[in-house]
Structure 1
C-alpha cells in the first residue's frame, strides 16, 4: 500500500485576478478550491494515474471536514487523524501573479495526536511505500521525520522524502529510497551555486554517500538529474511547454517517479515518468491528469 503524510493539510483557494491592484478591492476572474498540502498533492497525482493511496495527517474544524469530503470525492483514502480544536488552514494562491501565495498556519497538534499517527505508521511493513513531504508545523518537534524513519528502519518500506535542508539531512542515515531536492536547495546544503545539470551530479552523489539511495534533482527550466542507486546517472532537459502553474510540480514529480518505478522497476522509465508528471502539472491549470502526463512522456521519449 502507498501512504502519504501531510502534517498540515490545507484547503487551497486558487484565484485569478485581472490587473491586481494593492490597496483596492479586487474581484476574481476565476476561482477553484482543492485539498492541498504536499502529501495530498502526491496522492492526487497518483490517483490520476490510477494508483490508490491513503492520505495521513491531521484535520480540524469546518475546513478539515471540507478537505475530508473532497478527498472522498477524489477516491483518496482518508486516514487523517481528527483534532478537536482549531481548523485546517486555508491557503490563497494568486494565479495571475505567478508564485504569489498566502498560506495559513493550521491547528496546534497535541503530542497525543502525534503518538496516534506514529501508531498508524508503525503498522506499515514490507513492500509499502511512504511519502514524507513538506515542512513540519511549529507545534510539532522538528525531528518528526527522523523519528518516523528511525521507527520504520529495516522494515522493507520504500520511503520518499521531499523536504528542505535540515529536515532532509537528518533522515539520510536511515537510507530513504528517494529524495528530491531542487538545484537551489542542493546548492544551499553545500554552499555552492548550481546552474547546470552537470554541476549537480557530484553533490547529488555526496547525498548518496550520506545515505540516500536515489537522488532526483529538479531544475525547473533546466530539466532534471537522477543519480540512481544502480550507479547510473540520468539527465534530461525540460520538456517544451508553457508554464501555467508551478504549484505542485515537485510533488507531481515524486509521484510520477514512484509510479514509474513501481510499474517497471526501471530507473530510466521512472526518471522519465517523474519529469513527465512534474512538467505536465506545470503546463496545466491543476495537477496533471493521466492523459497530460502520457503526452509529455511521449515527447520526452520519442
Structure 2
C-alpha cells in the first residue's frame, strides 16, 4: 500500500476574475473548489495512474468533511485523524496576477499526534510512505522525522517538504527527497542557477542521510543524485498552463513507476513525464498523456562541466 501524509491540508477555493480591484466589490467569472495539500495531490495523481493509496493526516469541521467526501468521489481511500477545528481554506485568485490567501491551520493537540502515530503501526516494509507539504503551526519541525522513524526498516519513504522540516527528515534516512532547486538553495543559503551547483549540493544531502535526491529545475529539466551516480533529464516540449501540483505529480509518477519497475532511473524519467503532463494541463495528468511524454524524455549521466 502507498500511504500519503498531509499534515496541513486545505480546502482550495479558486476564484477567476478579469481584474482584481482592491477596495471594491469584485465579481468572479468562475469558481472551483478542490481538496488541497501536497500529499493529497499525490494520492489524486496516483489514482489517475492506476495506483491505489491511503491518504493520512488531519482534517476537521465542514471543510475537513468536504476534503474526505471529494477524495472518496475520486475513489481515493482516506484515514484522517479528526481534529476539533476547521481545516484551513486557501483562496487562490486568478486575475492578471495570481494571488493566494492561505488560512490558518486548526490546533493539533497531543492526542491527535498520537492517533496519527498509532496508524503507522499498520505500515510494513513492503509499503511506501509519502510525507509532503508544510507542517501546521506550532508543530515541532522534527515531526516528519519522528513519523519516519516509526516505520519498519526497508519501508520506502519519500519526503517533499522544505526548510528545517526537510533537514530534520533527512536525518531519518528517507529513500527519496524531492526539493526544487530553490528549496535546495535555501537549505544551504546559496543561489543555484545551473545543474552543476544543483548536483554539488544534492550530493551533500546524500552524504547527510538521504538515499536519493530528485531536484526539479523547472524548464531546465531535473536531476537525480544517488549514492552511485548522478543523472540529468530534459523536460519535454509543451506549453505550461498550470504549475500547481506539477511537483506532486513528479512524486506520484516516480512512486507509481518504481513499484512496477524497481528501476530508479526509469521511475525518475516517468516522474518527470507526470510532472510535465500536469503542467501542460489545467487539471492533473492522465495516464495516457504521461506515457506519451515518457517516450520523449532522455536521461543521461551527469558530467561536471558538460551540462
| Fold equivalence (TM over 0.5) | yes
Cα pair 2:176 2:212 within 8 Å, conserved: yes
Mapping of residues 214-293 of structure 1, within 5 Å:
214-229=212-227, 231-293=228-290
Partner of residue 89, structure 2? 90
Partner of residue 44, structure 2? 44
Q: CA deviation at 1:133?
A: 0.5
Alignment of 1:186 onto 2:184: yes
Partner of residue 123, structure 1? 122
Q: CA deviation at 1:97?
A: 4.6
Q: CA deviation at 1:151?
A: 2.2
Cα pair 2:159 2:166 within 8 Å, conserved: yes
Q: CA deviation at 1:258?
A: 1.3
Cα pair 1:98 1:245 within 8 Å, conserved: no
| Runs of at least 5 residues in structure 1 that lack an aligned partner in the other structure | none
Match of 1:161 among 141, 147, 159: 159
Q: CA deviation at 1:19?
A: 2.5
Alignment of 1:210 onto 2:208: yes
Q: CA deviation at 1:79?
A: 0.4
Cα pair 2:18 2:96 within 8 Å, conserved: no
When structure 1 is superposed on structure 2, of 30-39 and 209-218 the one drifting more is 30-39
Partner of residue 55, structure 1? 55
1:57-103 CA-partner distances (Å, limit 9, x unpaired) = 111111111111111101110100112x2211111122335553111
Cα pair 2:142 2:165 within 8 Å, conserved: yes
1:218-276 CA-partner distances (Å, limit 9, x unpaired) = 111111101124x1321123222222111111111111111121121112211111111
Cα pair 1:110 1:139 within 8 Å, conserved: no
Alignment of 1:298 onto 2:277: no
Q: Which runs of 4+ in 1 moved over 4 A?
A: none
SS of match in other structure, 1:34: strand
Q: CA deviation at 1:301?
A: 5.0
| Runs of at least 5 residues in structure 2 that lack an aligned partner in the other structure | 300-307
Note the aligned Cα RMSD (angstroms).
Answer: 1.7
Cα pair 1:60 1:87 within 8 Å, conserved: yes
| TM-score for the superposition, normalised by structure 1 | 0.94
**What CA distance in whole angstroms lies between the structure 2 residues aligned with 1:51 and 1:97?**
37
Partner of residue 109, structure 2? 110
Cα pair 1:81 1:113 within 8 Å, conserved: yes
**What CA distance in whole angstroms lies between the structure 1 residues aligned with 2:98 and 2:214?**
23
1:184-214 CA-partner distances (Å, limit 9, x unpaired) = 1111222321111222112111100111111
**What CA distance in whole angstroms lies between the structure 1 residues aligned with 2:168 and 2:224?**
21
Cα pair 2:11 2:36 within 8 Å, conserved: yes
**What CA distance in whole angstroms lies between the structure 2 residues aligned with 1:245 and 1:162?**
19
**What CA distance in whole angstroms lies between the structure 2 residues aligned with 1:243 and 1:190?**
29
Partner of residue 18, structure 1? 18
| TM-score for the superposition, normalised by structure 2 | 0.92
1:125-161 CA-partner distances (Å, limit 9, x unpaired) = 1111001111111132221111112222x53211011
